[in-house]
Amino acid sequence: MGVLQILRLLGMAVAFITAFVAVPEAVLILTVMGLVVGVMGDMEDNSNRVYWLIIAMALTTVSGAASPLPVIGGPISDIMGNMSTLMNALALGILVNAMKERIMNSW
């Protein structure tokens, strides 16, 4: 298991735990972890980049869909919202890497 896989799993664990436990810096932690994974990620394959970008957009879109459900809707929406924060930061890291590669390859 590589460092990136450990960071991804740790990010998912933080997203899950912070849905039930109040952590004041949860958004900062998730954002930094997502950026690190996005920047460090092995994204040479464009289909892998597209996969992560679509996941980020989908999570942003559906993160609040479960909130009307009684009892379990709130926690599910919180988990999905936290995952959305993590994946959006990861997508930002991917986009920064893609722009860097384009600039470096154009010179």
pLDDT in tens, 58-103: 988 888 888 888 888 888 899 999 999 999 999 999 999 888 888 9
- Band the pLDDT of 43: cuts 50, 70, 90: low
> pLDDT over 90 for what percent of the chain?
39
Specify the number of domains making up the chain. 1
What DSSP string describes 20-87? TS--TTHHHHHHHHHHHHHHHS---SHHHHHHHHHHHHHHHHHTTTTTTSTTTHHHHHHHHHHHHHHH
User: What per-residue confidence (pLDDT) applies to 92?
Assistant: 93
Q: How confident is the model at residue 10 (pLDDT cuts 50, 70, 90)?
A: very high
Q: In terms of residue numbers, what domain contains 96?
A: 3-106
Rounded mean pLDDT, 39-65? 83
